Amino acid sequence: MFKNQEQVYVGVDYHRDPLQVAVKAADGRPLANRRCANDVSSVVELVSRHGRVSKVAVEACCGSMSFAEELAERTGWTVELAHPGVTKRMRLNPDKSDLTDADVLAELSRANWIPRVWLPPRRVREYRSLLNYRESLVRQRTACKLQVRAMLRQERIAEPKIRAWTKIWMTWLHDKAPLAEETRWLVMQRLSQLDDLEERIDVAEDRLREKAPQSPLVQWLQQQRGIGLITAWWIATAVGRFDRFRKGKQLSRFCGLSPRNASSGKREADAGLVPSCSRDLRAKLLQAAHRLCRYDARWQMLFRRLLERGKAANVAVVAVANRWMRWLFHQAKELRLAV
């Protein structure tokens, strides 16, 4: 045991190996700033010799969540994840190095200015990985379909006036499309790849369906109008707990559904939606809003009212999604459900 009980603050610039660890005293004095192996025991040994740890700040990036969780569990220290984009903007020094990054994190921790990022439990991170895997498969499926349609345009083949990728359209593509020999072979390869992707997507969705009963929040979300299995999982893994937000407006902004202010002087304007959010989550919420605008009388009425006021259809859909997320927040916050 080290006898020094001075209160210290720690900043960790995370890398796969090594880490850069900065230690500062409560009055701002730098005590250490050196490289350390990517190992919790090595970090504890380095930091503990300088005093009693008050708080540790770790920059959020790939792998840092697991490191922060292990560090907190093994030591009992208060470990916070720092938003890397906000931290970068708060850095005054134009030079960039691991040394300065760790020093800035330690200083922000000491001043209690850390732009915090939620540290989800391990099982939530695993669900996120599963969702991202499914999303990557969906993107590959979309790319395959676009490539097939592009080959048809390249051959100047007029498609029948039916919806693409239906059974009738697929029968026409297989039997009647006048494709050149090599083009037909390439199309068949893409279609075989599509079949494989569809099967893998179904397997991933079955796994999510099996895990859904283990999550009270996912089960509750699936009971709401406009929310299916995938949308429920995206909301649950991104939000974690609704009661960690103070109000619905904050949640809606977190989901990227709030307008971005671009006002200056007497000029007031918006610049689209706030960019700092999960684009996949926002896409799923906008898809849900489209369903609500079509099939739910309450939100359909709001959508039509916005159109009558001269709003564009896409703007009205986003407004519905914004209001809907605020409403969902007030429904869920008292239940205190978790993933």
Write out pLDDT tens, residues 217-244: 999 999 999 899 999 999 999 999 898 9
Q: Count up the domains in the chain and report the number.
A: 3
Among 190, 212, 234, residue at a domain's last position: 212
Answer whether residue 72 is part of any domain.
yes
Please say whether the beta carbons of 285 and 257 come within 8 A.
yes
Question: pLDDT over 90 for what percent of the chain?
Answer: 75
Report the pLDDT value the prediction gives residue 197, as an integer from 0 to 100. 97
Among 212, 246, 265, residue at a domain's last position: 212
**Residue 184 pLDDT greater than 50, yes or no:** yes
Range of the domain at 33: 7-117
Report the pLDDT value the prediction gives residue 1, as an integer from 0 to 100. 45
Average pLDDT, the chain: 91
Among 117, 143, 163, residue at a domain's last position: 117
* CATH number of the CATH domain containing 105: 3.30.420.40
Write out pLDDT tens, residues 86-112: 777 666 666 778 888 899 899 999 999
Q: How far is CA 229 from CA 9, 88, 121, 195, in A?
A: 43, 37, 21, 22
Write out pLDDT tens, residues 263-314: 666 666 666 888 878 899 999 999 999 999 999 999 999 999 999 999 999 9
**Buried b or exposed e, range 183-209, using 16+ CB within 10 angstroms:** bbeebeebbebbeebeeebeebbeebe
